Chain A
Amino acid sequence: GENVEQHPSTLSVQEGDSAVIKCTYSDSASNYFPWYKQELGKRPQLIIDIRSNVGEKKDQRIAVTLNKTAKHFSLHITETQPEDSAVYFCADENAGNMLTFGGGTRLMVKP
Chain B
Amino acid sequence: GAGVSQSPSNKVTEKGKDVELRCDPISGHTALYWYRQSLGQGLEFLIYFQGNSAPDKSGLPSDRFSAERTGGSVSTLTIQRTQQEDSAVYLCASSLNQGGTGELFFGEGSRLTVL
**B-contacting residues of A (Cβ < 8 Å)?**
1, 31-32, 34, 36, 43-46, 49, 51, 89, 93, 96-104
Contacts and interface: CB of A to CB of B under 8 A. Distances in A.
Interface residues of B, number: 22
By secondary structure, the B interface counts as: loop
Given A31-B100, A97-B50, A97-B101, A45 B43 contact: no
Contact of A89 (B43, B58, B97, B100): B43
Contact of B109 (A1, A43, A46, A93): A43
A43 B100 contact: no
Interface string B99-112: 01101101111000
Nearest to B4: A43
Given A34-B101, A46-B103, 15 more contacts: A32-B100, A34-B103, A36-B104, A43-B109, A44-B43, A44-B106, A93-B100, A93-B101, A96-B55, A98-B55, A99-B48, A101-B43, A101-B45, A102-B42, A103-B41
